[in-house]
Amino acid sequence: MNLTYVPVKNARSIVLLVTSPVDSVLRAQVAGWLLRRVEHADQVAFAAWDGDEPRLETADGALTVSGAAALCAWLAGSNDLPAGETWEFPLACSGGSFALNCSVTRVSNCALVTVTMPQPEINSVPVGSQTLTVIRYPGVSHVIVPAGEMERTGAPAVLQSLGRTLAAPRTGLLFWNEGARLLDPLLMSRGAGSPVWCQSSGSAAGALGAYLAGRLGDTVSVKMPGGAMAVTRSGDAVTVTAAAEVGGKRTVELVF
């Protein structure tokens, strides 16, 4: 089976956007195969189509803002969006179960993509002797860990336990240093093995915006190990903006 994908970079973070059709039952295998072979890749997303309308798919059906940004940037390049012009559209996700409002602007050799987050469910979860805030989006639950509240060395075991408690396809522990505006995301996908410290995460940045609720101003530049994303809150709406640079097309032969 031949597979075509493009790497899409946000600073040092890489999303592998698969542009070949892939049956839904094979997506988890394909994603795992690519992640084992492409250095520094954080996640895999799949471009699909409903007639002429694009749709974003993931192996587990979870929300991926970074995947949405990758697909938007690739579409802008494929459709020769002129530099400086902005394209706005709703992007269907996960078989059409929800949509993300997106805008993309071509600038120089990359695209600026803004994704409006869906409204989250916000509640709390007990973690040992603490009670932490959990932000739930479709298919992904992020738990905010303020600086000093948890040792990083024990975080993977805590996240594995939380994954069973929260029962979401993806779960994250988001270590947040408010003074430095630094977010360090530890993420785990169900069935994908051990938790991974990620270079960046758009859904994590959006969850942080919901958690902050405008406390640090309307727009916050959130630094992550792989680069920064701008998080803006207007009323109850949270948007995440990131630069995305689309690499050259790659074709590989899959061998499971």
Residues 154 and 178 in one domain: yes
Mean pLDDT for 57-86 is 93
Number of Cβ within 10 Å of residue 213's Cβ equals: 11
Structural domain count of the chain = 2
Residues 131 and 230 in one domain: yes
**What CATH number does the domain containing 128 carry?**
3.10.310.10
Mean pLDDT for 86-110 is 90
**Per-residue pLDDT, 192:** 66
* Residue-number span of the structural domain to which 131 is assigned: 121-241
Residues 103 and 141 in one domain: no
Residues 249 and 207 in one domain: no
Residues 103 and 131 in one domain: no
Residues 174 and 112 in one domain: no
Residues 142 and 234 in one domain: yes
Residues 108 and 127 in one domain: no
Residues 39 and 12 in one domain: yes
Chain segment 3-46, per-residue pLDDT in tens: 999 999 987 789 999 999 999 999 999 998 998 899 888 889 99
DSSP letter string, the chain: -EEEEEEEEETTEEEEEE-S---GGGHHHHHHHHHHHSTTEEEEEEEEEETTEEEEE-SS----HHHHHHHHHHHHHHTTPPTT-EEEEEEEEGGGTEEEEEEEEEETTEEEEEEEPPPPEEEEEEETTEEEEEEEETTEEEEEEETTSS-GGGHHHHHHHHHHHH--SEEEEEEEETTTTEEEEEEEETTS-S-EE-S--HHHHHHHHHHHTTTT-SEEEEEETTEEEEEEEETTEEEEEEEEEE---EEEE---
Chain segment 117-158, per-residue pLDDT in tens: 999 999 999 998 899 999 999 999 999 999 989 999 999 999
Residues 148 and 224 in one domain: yes
Of 130, 88, 118, 89, the residue nearest 105 (C-alpha) = 88
101, with CB counted inside 10 A (0-12, 13-18, 19+), is middle
Residues 89 and 141 in one domain: no
Residues 99 and 16 in one domain: yes
- pTM recorded for the entire structure: 0.92
Number of Cβ within 10 Å of residue 197's Cβ equals: 14
